[in-house]
Structure 1
Amino acid sequence: MVSRSVKLGGTASDITVAPVAHGLMMMTWTPNPVSDEQAFESIKAGVDALPPGTKAFLNSGEFYAMDRGTGNLELLSRFFAKYPDYADKTFLSVKGGVPNLVPDGSMDSLRASVDNIQKVLGPNKKLDLFEPARIDRNTPVETIMNNLATLVKEGKFFHIGLSECNANTLRKANAVYPVTAAEIEVSPWSYDDNQKAVIEVARELNITVVAYSPLGRGYLTGQIKTARDLPENDVRIHLTRFKEENLKANWAIVEGLKAIAEKKGITAAQLCIAWVASLGPHMLPLPGSSKSSRTLENLKAGSIELTPEESKAIHEVITANPTIGDRYYGSDEKAFLWG
């Protein structure tokens, strides 16, 4: 089923992962968390579809729950306790280092975060990659990287990632210690100068770009036409692009992508994932999934090849329909973006 794979960057360059990562956030950071049985089947489906030697890239967070607690990690702890043989078949990335959702790159903060993550995960799975969820702008990135490198040398985890970093920060960080992955938002409605710069620097430095929200948080699938289509208390309700007027204004992007997908005989979601993957061999799309059927649909998209004509058509849709609304809450600084 999987005809393509991705070699990770930095210190993980000997590790091969599936062409599409698996985001676990919405299994628990939702008003209606899925059952363990459903979540476990979703994770297992992605792992079982891979050839020997290829790992499933799982993405979690220390704060992925409605109460900003460790619910997602607790779910993973239960999964690996039930299926311990899946530990070696998965590569686990976890974001942390944001006490009270404020970035803190100090040694004390990072150590406390990493220790907490591993404590909650339990004995069956070791943390593969840790990434500060946002860049602490009050601490030099060189200091942050030295702190993270110290924790790696202590055996706390194996590889370092960064999240929501800009291209200059990524270059500075990598000069201190090899960065394995840079996690940024990339999709047909989130592809601006910052994304392009990070993607280019990452390609140059052999760093994997873990591209989160490749489906525009579900919007680009065409399933969310109005705010009423979101569950009550859904976290997306607070985002600028999910305001009613912006959902309406951006609908032309969805229609354009849907037309290209239908012509190719794939879903709009698969088209978006395939397009993100087409931006370079170091690109790792990171859609979320809580259902095994969706996990497999997403994974299949990683092996879909776009023709030059299809890529051009997608580019024309993006160019003709500039996205209305910012990615989070009205300002990059408020959400600690592009640190």
Structure 2
Amino acid sequence: MSLRELDKTGVKVPAIGMGTFTYSSSDEQENIKTLNRAIELGCTFWDTADAYGNGTNEILLSKILKERRDEVFLCTKFGITRGSNGKFKGISGTPEYIRQACDNSLQRLGIDYIDLYYQHHTVGALAELVKEGKVKYIGLSECSAETLRRAYKVHPIAAVQMEYSPWTLDIETNGIMEACRELGVTIVAYSPLGRGFLTGRYKSVADFEPDDFRRELPRFQGENFDKNLELVHKFKEFANKKGVTPGQLCLAWILAQGDNIVTIPGTRKIKHLEENVEAAKIQLNSDELSEIRRIINSIEIVGTRYNDLYMKGMSAYGSSDEQENINVLNRAIELGCTFWDTSDFYGVGASEILLTKVLKERRNEVFLCTKFGIVRGPNREIIGMCGTPEYVRQACDNSLKRLGTDHIDLYYQHRVDPNTPIEDTVSALAELVKEGKVRYIGLSECSAETLRRAYKVHPIAAVQMEYSPWTLDIETNGIMEACRELGVTIVACSPLGRGFLTGRFKSFDDFEPDDYRRLIPRFQEENFDKNFELVHKFNEFANKKGVTPGQLCLAWVIAQGDNIVAIPGTRKIKYLEENFDAAKIQLNFEELSEIRQIINSIEIIGTRYHQTHMKLPSTTTNLYVDIIDSSKLTST
């Protein structure tokens, strides 16, 4: 096995390492055989993480390490925190957390030191672990070039783990490759085989098992899969001429991109492990490298490497025209539709910046709401929630700057930070109220218990929750009751079921290829058809009433309580006007009873978000359908 030097330490590691991400959910005995065979082959640069299988991956490796620790260069990671139910909670890099995470990993692995310890998603605390001998080298994962440079000033960084393959070339253009070469940092390329796609073993999406997470990734879906398969065909042709497999060609090409690059393809099969290891022996001359680069450059890869729900938050419904948006916003003011809802999360601040083009002339005509709390990484990926006092203040100042205003009317915590007491977050918001930067405080997608705790610190004016005829959670989870008791306004987001309940979409195929609703279980083809029964029933009722289905939905939502307002999102003036007229519709007792019977008679199939994703809102700028009376909001 050829070796590569790790950083400037003089330590050498195999060019082909061993990724163990999938080992937590597969046959243990087969995994142990594969790991032992890996050592025999010299494939001893092993990669795991405390997040893989919620620690069970590290425990599995301990069964090999107790006899063969000295033969393995062991890498693990920390930083992704989980709750008691094993679900994602957030990201942490506090010195206290690092020390605890390291001790926990050492215990699970059954060893007294880790060779390379990555921050998964401050370096000062890691340096202390190096001094104590618990960690030999420090690494970062999925970081920016700027973060790498800053970290390196504190302590030498041995390696950065980044996705890199013939169909994921981000590190060539985002500064990481350049920074690593300059600093002498090793690049550990994960998913070097494009999550198996580039091996040529998968001919269609149907080849993936039903619960395979790749089915959710845009690059592997429908037409994208077929288009991207062209790269596999080209690699296969080249590999056949070379007398190697497509996977081996990929690995050899990556290793040829720099002496500071090692790869960690994941596999649970000994035959694939042996195939991968052989790739380190393959030599590509300059003509071959040039031809491969031409192949890569000639094919446009379709679809992002992660679902937009995970990487960027939900996109708006289809494409968007800025001038049309501005026209809609101005028309909204003319109609008296002046309760505007946005967030620093929508478009990574772009939504707030768009609103400035109207607010700079008409700020006094708008009741402006925005949100904070969902944190993104350097590549726009979601890395967690934050509600610390320091973050709250910084987020507020950033929003004020983007919005070009000196105050926010209603400032929500977008998602509750599980690692920061709500009392601390609300206390910080209360300080902003005292300073005049914020008028009212709100929460979004919180529990009734959290709302009550928050209210004890400072009055909460509003909570934003999804509520519509097909999403009735707040009626049974205590939120509706708590809001009525405390006098808190419920701001109903997605009151039209993300457009579904308007009846404008007749089938799954009506959504544009990049529309995020294609990824939500309720909109999946079979579920779509079953759930459409509710639309049929609403359409029939609306026709009798002489209104549209969308108007009927909004009128019903508003009729559920005097403390409820709705914020349907739209970018079309005609729909804005239609929504606004819904506030004029009166539903009598018999009509409300009949609508409730319709809702109760139909079982909605599929969850409102995919179970593997955080519950995040749409990036559509929402417009309130009614003229808000700000006196409804709890006084500060």
8 Å CA contact 1:276–1:285 kept in 2: the answer is yes
CA distance in 1, matches of 2:455, 2:510: 42
Match of 1:77 in 2: 356
Match of 1:64 in 2: 346
CA distance in 2, matches of 1:277, 1:32: 29
8 Å CA contact 1:135–1:336 kept in 2: the answer is no
8 Å CA contact 1:131–1:163 kept in 2: the answer is yes
Equivalent residues in 2 for 1:13-162 (5 A)? Answer: 29-36=316-323, 38-50=324-336, 56-65=338-347, 69-81=348-360, 84=361, 86-100=362-376, 101=382, 102-123=384-405, 126-162=407-443
CA RMSD of aligned residues (A): 2.0
8 Å CA contact 1:97–1:132 kept in 2: the answer is yes
Match of 2:583 in 1: 302
Q: CA deviation at 1:194?
A: 5.2
AA partner of residue 395 (structure 2): S
Match of 1:23 in 2: none
Q: CA deviation at 1:132?
A: 1.4
CA distance in 2, matches of 1:259, 1:95: 38
Identity of counterpart residues, as a percentage?
Answer: 36
AA partner of residue 104 (structure 1): C
CA distance in 1, matches of 2:452, 2:603: 29
Q: CA deviation at 1:227?
A: 2.0
Q: 1:298 to 1:336 in 2, by over 3 A?
A: closer
Q: 1:225 to 1:324 in 2, by over 3 A?
A: same
- The C-alpha deviation readout for 1:126-155, integer Å capped at 9, x for no partner, is 321111111111222112211211222233
8 Å CA contact 2:448–2:479 kept in 1: the answer is yes
Match of 1:209 in 2: 490
Mean Cα displacement is larger for which, 258-267 or 306-315?
306-315
Q: CA deviation at 1:225?
A: 2.6
Match of 2:541 among 254, 260, 281: 260
3-state SS of 1:302 partner: helix
3-state SS of 1:263 partner: helix
CA distance in 1, matches of 2:544, 2:524: 30
AA partner of residue 365 (structure 2): K
Q: 1:140 to 1:194 in 2, by over 3 A?
A: farther
3-state SS of 2:367 partner: strand
CA distance in 2, matches of 1:317, 1:77: 42
3-state SS of 1:58 partner: strand
CA distance in 2, matches of 1:174, 1:156: 20
8 Å CA contact 1:42–1:293 kept in 2: the answer is no
Q: CA deviation at 1:226?
A: 2.1
Q: CA deviation at 1:210?
A: 0.4
Matched, 1:170 2:451: yes
CA distance in 1, matches of 2:407, 2:430: 17
Q: CA deviation at 1:45?
A: 2.0
Q: 1:276 to 1:92 in 2, by over 3 A?
A: same
Q: CA deviation at 1:204?
A: 1.9
Q: CA deviation at 1:195?
A: 5.8
TM-score normalised by length of structure 2: 0.45
Q: CA deviation at 1:205?
A: 1.3
Q: 1:309 to 1:194 in 2, by over 3 A?
A: closer
Match of 1:322 among 584, 603, 607: 603
Match of 2:569 among 263, 288, 294: 288
Larger Rg: 2
Q: CA deviation at 1:282?
A: 0.8
8 Å CA contact 1:184–1:195 kept in 2: the answer is no
Q: CA deviation at 1:224?
A: 1.8
CA distance in 2, matches of 1:196, 1:279: 16
Q: CA deviation at 1:196?
A: 6.2
8 Å CA contact 1:74–1:120 kept in 2: the answer is yes
CA distance in 2, matches of 1:30, 1:169: 31
Q: 1:194 to 1:107 in 2, by over 3 A?
A: farther
AA partner of residue 186 (structure 1): Y
3-state SS of 2:584 partner: coil
Mean Cα displacement is larger for which, 132-141 or 275-284?
132-141
8 Å CA contact 1:260–1:313 kept in 2: the answer is no
AA partner of residue 319 (structure 2): N
AA partner of residue 113 (structure 1): A
3-state SS of 1:99 partner: strand
- Structure 2: state its 5+ residue gaps: 1-314, 377-381, 618-636
Q: 1:240 to 1:145 in 2, by over 3 A?
A: same
Q: CA deviation at 1:334?
A: 3.5
Q: CA deviation at 1:193?
A: 5.2
Higher relative contact order (CA 8 A, sep 6+): 1
Q: CA deviation at 1:46?
A: 2.2
CA distance in 1, matches of 2:316, 2:463: 22
3-state SS of 2:513 partner: coil
TM-score normalised by length of structure 1: 0.83
Q: CA deviation at 1:168?
A: 1.8
- Structure 1: state its 5+ residue gaps: 1-27
CA distance in 2, matches of 1:94, 1:196: 25
3-state SS of 2:385 partner: coil
8 Å CA contact 2:462–2:488 kept in 1: the answer is yes
3-state SS of 2:478 partner: helix
3-state SS of 1:187 partner: coil
